[in-house]
Amino acid sequence: MLGTPNSDDMSFIGNDLARKYIRKLPKRNKQSMKKIFPKANPNAHSLLQKMLVFNPEKRYTVKNCLEHPYFERLFCDINLADNECIEPFDWSWDNFEPTRDLLQRMVWDESLQYHSADE
């Protein structure tokens, strides 16, 4: 859908092997949202085109999306700057090696929060 990214679009990828792999893929042209979703609202086409961008630095932010005409009837224009997260979200809780045994244990432990082992 997005077409083959150019060198600039891949600049954010820090892994040389990943960039090399992408360069070896067959070249593709970017697809038109209108062709993919012919019955969709033109504003939906526009929004999708801006959201589905390979390089995250060029991709629409959540704020950009909310301000897009597609959402104009749904968006309540509050001061977004007052509601933006100042610090990046802490994902440290997700820093573990996901082995089968560990994931099974984690699912089991979480299920016990809703139902005891006695039930």
The tens digit of pLDDT for each residue in 63-117 reads 899 889 998 887 665 665 566 677 888 888 888 899 999 999 999 999 998 876 6
Identity of the amino acid at 85: C
pTM exceeding the 0.85 threshold for the entire prediction: no
What is the C-alpha to C-alpha distance for residues 93 and 113, in angstroms, rounded to an integer?
18
72: helix, coil or strand? Answer: coil
The pLDDT, as a whole number, for residue 76 is 66
| Tokens, residue 30 | 């970017």
- Residue 118: pLDDT band (50, 70, 90) is low
Look at the chain and count its residues. Answer: 119
